[in-house]
Amino acid sequence: MNQSIALVGPGDRQIEQLLRSRGLSVSAWAERDLTLRAQHASPAADIVMLDLRDQPRLPASLEVFHRQHPSVPVLLLLSSLDPALMLEAMRAGVRECLQYPVSEEELNAALARIAASRDAGPAGEVFAFLGAKGGVGATTAAVNVATELAHLRKGSVLLVDLHLAYGDAAIYLAAEPRFSIADALENTHRLDAAFLRSLCVTTKAGPELLASPDRVLAVVVDAVRIRALVDAAARHYRYVVLDICRTDPAVLDSLDPVKKILVIANQELATVRGASRMAATLNQRYGKDRVVLAVSRYDPKAGIGQEDIERVVGAKIRHLLPSDYRVALEALNTGRPLALNNQTRLAGALRVLAHELAEHTSDAATQKSGRNIFGRLTSRS
């Protein structure tokens, strides 16, 4: 059966013809139809194209429609690609923004990307790791979780070092990448499976890695580009782990596809305060359920205890990663993640964290780590 596309707005014969020539059945909707269809179980269209040429604002009906029918891709037709409007559109669930007049190639490419994301099946799960302060152990956690997930799903795990500069995930994995997120972010229009994979390096530990760049980017990186990269990664990998940077607002604004955002704190007062502010912002933007508090380098004898952290941050600590500097440092210096075969308590806790994220709860993880009691102590979700 033909796919159907609803054209919302003033209507344009040339665009209608282009859509029909691609075998789509086109129906014309008024803006209020978006609100009406939001009240039905069936969206009545496979794709929605919203023509906003005469109207530089998103209609409220779009968000209502998207909430009810999140799987229906929405394309916007704009008179100019205003970054603020594109960002707002992205937050409202819009997949593609096209500038009028739109060429046949541009329209075909946008429809092909939508088709490709459908054919790729359900999106993979994305987890982000964010240190509440520098050096708390966020990369250590991200690298080890990605390694453990790769052992669950061989070949289908991608670690993205989303530091626009000076990311060090490649060192933790003894990888020598030729390409980086710079190449991906400069080419978001061609991020299909083959191109994305060609930018990644397969690591000895298991996960593929898309590394942080060691050069200046040739484009201004905004949330729209980062979101396009995260979406593409989720389309092509079963699990995607993001090592993200707290000082980059564009990255923090691009996490809609992320299932869990792990805020990593430690027992320093400044870090706990930072975690509190960070969690509040993320809760508001992405919802409390997706924000997970973890404490790394945990020392049960430290002056600031679990309850103190929970009180200041206003959330339960879900994971405690014990302090073991010697073991963590050796793993870093040898490029061999702890999750591989290390039998320390820290390695066990990292494995449990990975399995819980993958919802392979406890048994497999704790048996593998050989630390059932510790698993129960460290995992409090």
> Which value, to the nearest 10 degrees, does the dihedral of the CA atoms of residues 23, 116, 358, 155 take?
140
Sheet with 291-298, edge to edge strand ranges: 201-202, 208-210, 157-161, 239-244, 125-131, 260-265, 291-298, 317-322
> How far apart are the C-alpha atoms of 132 and 273, rounded to whole Å?
9
Contacts (Cβ under 8 Å, ≥6 apart) of 42? none
- By the rule CB under 6 A, 332 interacts with ligand ATP: yes
Q: Any contact of residue 366 with ligand ATP (CB under 6 A)?
A: no
**According to CB under 6 A, which residues from 268 to 297 bind ligand ATP?**
296-297
What is the C-alpha to C-alpha distance for residues 168 and 163, in angstroms, rounded to an integer?
Answer: 9
Residue 325, interface with ligand ATP (CB under 6 A)? yes
x/- binding map, residues 111-140, to ligand ATP, per CB under 6 A? Answer: --------------------x--xxxxxxx
Q: Are 117 and 235 in contact (CB under 8 A)?
A: yes
Per rule CB under 6 A, is residue 95 in the interface with ligand ATP? Answer: no
Helices 325-334 and 345-357, packing angle to 10 deg: 70
Least spacing, CB of residue 327 vs ligand ATP, in Å:
8
Backbone angles phi, psi at 259, to 5 degrees: -80, -45
Q: Where does this chain touch ligand ATP (CB under 6 A) — which range of 173-181, 185-193, 225-233, 325-333?
A: 325-333
**206: Cα within 13 Å, side-chain hemisphere:** 23
Does the protein bind ligand ATP through residue 155 (CB under 6 A)? no
CB of 328 to ligand ATP, least distance (A): 3
Query: Per CB under 5 A, does 342 bind Mg ion?
Result: no
- Smaller CB separation from ligand ATP, 126 or 320: 320
CA–CA dist 243, 206 (Å, integer)? 16
Q: Which of residues 59 and 337 has its CB atom nearest to ligand ATP in the complex?
A: 337
Among 170, 346, 352, 358, binds ligand ATP (CB under 6 A): 346
Residues that bind Mg ion (CB under 5 A): 139
Residues that bind ligand ATP (CB under 6 A): 131, 134-140, 296-297, 321, 323-325, 328-329, 332, 346
